[in-house]
Structure 1
Amino acid sequence: MESESRAGRPRASSRETLAEAACELFLEQGYDATSVADITRRAGVSRSSFFNYFSSKSDVLWSGLDARIDKALVALAALGTHADGPAVRAALEPVVHDFAPDPLALALRNASAMGLEQELLRDTGIRHARISSAVAATARSAGVDEIRADILGSALATAVLSSLRVWAEQGAGQASLEQRFDEALHSIHDLPWG
């Protein structure tokens, strides 16, 4: 059974409507105080509709980035023994390319107001570990020694996530995320691939 929607809000069950409702509530009452039931009530959809799009409340923030990371991990694995610095960077660039402001960007910019500092810190660490591990595995498969592979993985994962955070915190429309990523890559240029 669908909940009654807030006055003035059209009934819809789209991912965007749910994400918008969630972000509104995170700003109004904080992340921890917002339940999935609150989000579905605000969006005017059933609980099952929420779970058609998101696996959890946290997934509202991260699902867009996670889909991009998933594609990058596939691209990294496909490089095999032919991996080198430019190929790895090319596999990671789609994570930041044409990244439109989304719930994650809003959360990064308004972390304090939404009560999300700890949540973002923890969940960013998960994404960092996924990217870092995949880059390190790619480097090892191309013959890079263990420690250097781990350092490269961590550095490149940090470049992706730091550029995203800075871009969002400074206002997503102020500079391109691609430019921020390029700046981040230049800052780690002293870490040679081979």
Structure 2
Amino acid sequence: MGRWEPGARERLVVAAVDLFTEQGYDATTVAQIAERAGVTKSTFFRHFPDKRELLVAGQEMLSRLLAEGIAEAPADASPLAAVAAGLERASAAMGPMNRQLGPRLKAAIAASAELQERDALKSVSLAAAMTAALVARGVPDPTAALAGELGVLAFKRGYADWSEGDHDANDELAPYALAALDELRAASASLG
């Protein structure tokens, strides 16, 4: 494959997740990832600064979509209704590849402390993006922060349920994320 062939970024992510699952994160090299993806090491480094960053591929886009959905929610939307709009917007960007990678990515993260740390930082970043978008709508800081955290939990729970479900089904991520948000809303109401 030529280094300019389309889809290199996606192939690198799939190759990395497969190798992390097969042989562990620490035992996987950038050269192995590039070879499995059919690209050169220099192509790898054009897309990612190091192998850790493969885990958060698309994080900036996801943060942007969450924030845009929140910003475009109706003016009278509650903070959680705005978060729901953000979840719907971000979920629309998740396709079959994201669904298929879910279980393998979960296994790779569970087996590596370094990947667990990077995943936690990703969650913090997504929550910060949602919190900032809510604050920009005039939501007070503590409420915005809580709604942003609930949004991250809902996205992660919804993604886990969706990615572990029937891969032949054509259902989308949004209903799973919104159902998770509803469950979290009910759970928080029961806290007293």
The TM-score bracket by the shorter chain reads 0.7 to 0.9
Aligned residue for 2:36? 42
The 3-state SS of whatever aligns with 2:139 is coil
The alignment covers a number of residue pairs equal to 181
Tell whether the 8 Å contact from 1:65 to 1:95 is kept in structure 2 after alignment.
Answer: no
175, 178, 188: which one pairs with 2:174? 178
Unaligned runs of 5+ in 2: none
The 3-state SS of whatever aligns with 2:123 is helix
1:95 partner amino acid: A
TM-score normalised by length of structure 1: 0.72
117, 126, 150: which one pairs with 1:122? 117
| Alpha carbons of structure 1 residues 105 and 65: separation in structure 2 relative to 1, 3 Å | farther
The 3-state SS of whatever aligns with 1:182 is helix
Aligned residue for 2:9? 15
Distance 1:53 1:139 in 2: 31
Distance 1:61 1:104 in 2: 14
Q: Which has the larger radius of gyration?
A: 1
Aligned residue for 2:49? 55
Identity across the alignment (%): 29
Matched, 1:134 2:134: no
TM-score normalised by length of structure 2: 0.72
RMSD between aligned residues: 3.3
1:147 partner amino acid: P
The 3-state SS of whatever aligns with 2:84 is helix
The Cα of 1:74 is off from its aligned counterpart by 4.5
The 3-state SS of whatever aligns with 1:102 is helix
